[in-house]
Structure 1
Amino acid sequence: MAVVAEEEVIIVGAGQSGIAVAACLSLRGVRSLVLERDDCVGSLWRKRAYDRLHLHLAKKYCALPHLPHPDEAPTYLPRDDFARYLDGYAARFAVRTRLRREVRSARFDAGSGRWEVEAVDLATGRPEAYAARFLVVASGENDEKFVPEVPGLEAFPGPVVHAAEYRSAEGMRGKAVLVVGCGNSGMEIAYDLAAAGAVTSIAVRSELHLVSKEIWNVAMALYGYHVPAWVIDKLVLLMCAVVFGDTARHGLRRPAVGPFTLKLTTPAYPVFDVGTYAKIRSGEVRVLPAAVKSVRGNVVEFADGGRHPFDAIVLATGYRSTVRRWLKSEDGLIGDDGMAARGYPEHWKGANGLYCAGMVRRGIYGSCEDAELIAGDISELLLRPKQQDQGDAAAAAAHTNGS
């Protein structure tokens, strides 16, 4: 396959992480190309996010490098506002993208010292080949929706949608709807359904830390002042006790590990309450504290033996990375789950010019840090040969003048 483009840096993924890396490289004078499977930048926010979604962190924690949100922007940006921000960001820093390109293979060729990337133009079906000295994996943790295998689910008579396909509760008034999954998407979709008049249940099989946006902003501020995580945990749990009381009484058990420590050391995010907890306490949202076991007709059976009929099911069961399908590298940067194999802050750099951005589950804030680190490292590596050449030239001139 003939190489269609020789690049300094290839970035896979035009989400927030990919365009942030491209922008930071551009500001350092390094040319890059972003390959994106979808037809736009930030496709997660445009095509896989429900209508009522707002960012859970204040806007100062959700700005990409070198472009803060304007003062007049709301503290918690709506989905569409953030999508427009990503468009403006890519335009501001002249991010070079090739859209509708699905990467099928990326491997390092030791002979040429370059990454060989094979992709398909989804618009035409034609294969393309690229070569680059550096490769940045930025395809994110929300790459492909995960649908669990549940016996009988395929024969459920009503609609079954993944959270990636859910937009609003239109048409659900009076219907019995089960939300499977108690992460941020599941809890917020449950609220959306209940507020629209659906008879809503949510399957909660895991422990979770329920927090408010305001409480978590206090935690983020304290972390910025280098307050120890265990101190932040104690303060956060104290505030949660005042605001929510004992959530376990309503089926929401908290983990033994504090919320901030858990976020720093595991992939587990806290769940930001958008009003769901009040509806749980009032009975408008029913908590079913067990995993889904099977489906027979319109009846769902749970691991604790419970059986309940439903008219519709929303699977808020998360996503998974597909990186391991196309990245042909065994240097230990990317684990079997397609995410960063090493924990923060040693997660972002591999061997042979391989990097990953936004692959350690630290959200938009983490994407910013990764982008600056990667761009700084690449620009320094590119600068070294030039400095060496200049040094050699200066030494040769001095030798000539001396002779």
Structure 2
Amino acid sequence: MNHSGVRDVEVVVIGAGQAGLAAAFHLRRAGWAPDRDFVVLDHSPRPGGAWQFRWPTLTYDKVHGMHALPGMELTGADPQRPSSEVIGGYFGRYEQTFGLRVHRPVSVAAVRTGAGGRLLVETSEGAYAPRALINATGTWDRPFWPRFPGQEVFAGRQLHSAQYEGPKDFRGARVVVVGGGTSAVQQLLEIAPVAAATTWVTRRPPVFREGPFGEEQGRAAVALVEQRVRQGLPPRSVVSVTGLPMTEAIRRARASGVLERLPLFARVTPSGVVWADGRTVEAEVILYATGFRAALDHLAPLRLREPGGGIRLDGTRALRDARVHLVGYGPSASTIGANRAGRTAVRDIRRLLDGAAQPARGEAELAGRLAS
């Protein structure tokens, strides 16, 4: 800690979801010690990243594409347990196994330029002055709410998918579900059997993906997201360009009419929604499964954004500040992408800080064990 009460460290990691834990693993593997050379800050109350907030009826067998964290597989999980419990428990064991010493709950108010070429990270547990930053804050804290005329006069309930707690709250109700992503479909399929009626509304016609989704298709999807980031535009999710995986449950729902889709309505009325052609649907509930945006407000003092609204990256490094790396953002916003991004960020930070002291012997021995 320096004379001003600010603690000097080499690296601060903000966020302990998949991307943040992967980055912390690679920092430790490189020989840096938690709480001495780097700190991991997480505002959530428990391990699990955004997974800990998933609705209880989202069981582990319904999770698509969960990729293991580096160095430790997720094995023996009960497919009928809530994914929040399975993955939260896995993340917690991972933190303990590798001694990552995550600080929680800690809120980060702002990151700005500090003294002596360091950054200044202002948090609820005090300030840190790192030489580099790995931001892994994801999107959960910024649910996107679309705006429609008349929303303020709707007499029923409006909620975002982040607030969804299962189908029990929709029993006997007429429900409009807005959104074309995986969460929209999963929640719609749960709600339909208990609701009086459901209406599915999307901006664009949904695309259902048949057959396996291999490495080639994955690279193509990531490339589309990466193209927007290179242009300085806000990224779309990787899922938005992969399409919806066709499952047996989705086939049944399409055959029964549950997944018959309507275009976006024009406005909300006190009793439902209305389209420009005069069509109306009565509803007691509108569920906005409209996704999330990157939670980056704390980085605003660094002025990293381009005129298009996004942050341009070279790999994971922000082009406007080489000390700042974004993992789990844009093309790395998938579980396997987050793992790779964590490794890339640490590699580049080691190059940036190549004048840093070598790890002590004990830490070097631990790094060797982690690498094996």
Counterpart amino acid of residue 55 in structure 1: V
Corresponding residue for residue 133 of structure 1:
131
Structure 2: stretches of 5+ with no match in the other structure: 229-235, 359-372
Corresponding residue for residue 24 of structure 1:
26
TM-score, normalised via structure 2 length = 0.79
Counterpart amino acid of residue 174 in structure 1: G
Alpha carbons of 1:307 and 1:223: their partners in 2 closer, same or farther (altered >3 Å)? closer
Task: Give the Cα–Cα distance (whole angstroms) in 2 for the partners of residues 262 and 14 of structure 1.
Answer: 26
Task: Give the Cα–Cα distance (whole angstroms) in 2 for the partners of residues 384 and 77 of structure 1.
Answer: 48
1:354 pairs with 2:330: no
Paired residue secondary structure (1:319): coil
Contact 2:272 2:280 in 1 (8 A): yes
Runs of 4+ in 1 over 6 A off after TM superposition: 74-77
Corresponding residue for residue 248 of structure 1:
none
Task: Give the Cα–Cα distance (whole angstroms) in 1 for the partners of residues 80 and 348 of structure 2.
Answer: 32
Task: Give the Cα–Cα distance (whole angstroms) in 2 for the partners of residues 304 and 371 of structure 1.
Answer: 49
Shift, 1:335, TM fit: 7.6
Paired residue secondary structure (2:266): strand
Task: Give the Cα–Cα distance (whole angstroms) in 2 for the partners of residues 335 and 17 of structure 1.
Answer: 26
Paired residue secondary structure (1:113): coil
TM-score, normalised via structure 1 length = 0.74
1:120 pairs with 2:130: no
Task: Give the Cα–Cα distance (whole angstroms) in 2 for the partners of residues 95 and 120 of structure 1.
Answer: 19
Corresponding residue for residue 63 of structure 2:
55
Task: Give the Cα–Cα distance (whole angstroms) in 2 for the partners of residues 261 and 209 of structure 1.
Answer: 19
Corresponding residue for residue 143 of structure 1:
141
Task: Give the Cα–Cα distance (whole angstroms) in 2 for the partners of residues 81 and 215 of structure 1.
Answer: 25
Corresponding residue for residue 88 of structure 2:
83
Task: Give the Cα–Cα distance (whole angstroms) in 2 for the partners of residues 292 and 135 of structure 1.
Answer: 43
Task: Give the Cα–Cα distance (whole angstroms) in 2 for the partners of residues 278 and 348 of structure 1.
Answer: 44
Identity %: 26
Task: Give the Cα–Cα distance (whole angstroms) in 2 for the partners of residues 364 and 38 of structure 1.
Answer: 19
Task: Give the Cα–Cα distance (whole angstroms) in 2 for the partners of residues 307 and 336 of structure 1.
Answer: 36
Counterpart amino acid of residue 46 in structure 1: Q
Shift, 1:3, TM fit: 3.1
Deviations 1:238-274 (A, max 9, x none): xxxxxxxxxxxxxxxxxxxxx6865665622422345
Deviations 1:18-46 (A, max 9, x none): 12111110121113212222222334111
Corresponding residue for residue 12 of structure 1:
14
Task: Give the Cα–Cα distance (whole angstroms) in 1 for the partners of residues 190 and 307 of structure 2.
Answer: 35
Alpha carbons of 1:161 and 1:92: their partners in 2 closer, same or farther (altered >3 Å)? same
Alpha carbons of 1:359 and 1:183: their partners in 2 closer, same or farther (altered >3 Å)? same
Counterpart amino acid of residue 334 in structure 2: G
Deviations 1:185-228 (A, max 9, x none): 1111111111335421110221432125x622xx23x569xxx8
Task: Choose the corresponding residue for 1:272, options 242, 245, 256.
Answer: 245
Alpha carbons of 1:75 and 1:63: their partners in 2 closer, same or farther (altered >3 Å)? farther
Corresponding residue for residue 71 of structure 2:
66
Contact 2:182 2:244 in 1 (8 A): yes
Counterpart amino acid of residue 64 in structure 1: L
Corresponding residue for residue 363 of structure 2:
none
Shift, 1:278, TM fit: 2.7
Counterpart amino acid of residue 177 in structure 1: V
Contact 2:154 2:269 in 1 (8 A): yes
Corresponding residue for residue 344 of structure 2:
373
Equivalent residue runs for 1:4-403 within 5 Å: 4-30=6-32, 31-49=37-55, 51-52=57-58, 54-57=62-65, 59=66, 62-70=67-75, 72-73=76-77, 79=83, 80-109=85-114, 111-121=115-125, 128-211=126-209, 215-216=212-213, 219-220=214-215, 222=216, 229=220, 262=224, 265=227, 267=236, 268-269=240-241, 270-274=243-247, 275-288=249-262, 290-330=263-303, 337=309, 340-342=311-313, 346-350=315-319, 351-361=321-331, 362-384=333-355
Task: Give the Cα–Cα distance (whole angstroms) in 2 for the partners of residues 35 and 386 of structure 1.
Answer: 23
Task: Give the Cα–Cα distance (whole angstroms) in 2 for the partners of residues 44 and 7 of structure 1.
Answer: 26
Task: Give the Cα–Cα distance (whole angstroms) in 1 for the partners of residues 275 and 312 of structure 2.
Answer: 34
Q: Count residues with an aligned counterpart.
A: 335
Task: Give the Cα–Cα distance (whole angstroms) in 2 for the partners of residues 47 and 326 of structure 1.
Answer: 24
Contact 2:142 2:295 in 1 (8 A): yes
Deviations 1:166-195 (A, max 9, x none): 021114233211101111111111111113
Corresponding residue for residue 361 of structure 2:
none
Counterpart amino acid of residue 250 in structure 2: T
Contact 1:179 1:190 in 2 (8 A): yes
Alpha carbons of 1:4 and 1:97: their partners in 2 closer, same or farther (altered >3 Å)? farther
Shift, 1:152, TM fit: 2.2
Alpha carbons of 1:352 and 1:282: their partners in 2 closer, same or farther (altered >3 Å)? closer
Shift, 1:150, TM fit: 2.0
Task: Give the Cα–Cα distance (whole angstroms) in 1 for the partners of residues 193 and 245 of structure 2.
Answer: 17
Shift, 1:360, TM fit: 1.4
Task: Give the Cα–Cα distance (whole angstroms) in 2 for the partners of residues 360 and 261 of structure 1.
Answer: 10
Paired residue secondary structure (2:192): helix
Task: Give the Cα–Cα distance (whole angstroms) in 2 for the partners of residues 262 and 382 of structure 1.
Answer: 32
Alpha carbons of 1:171 and 1:35: their partners in 2 closer, same or farther (altered >3 Å)? closer
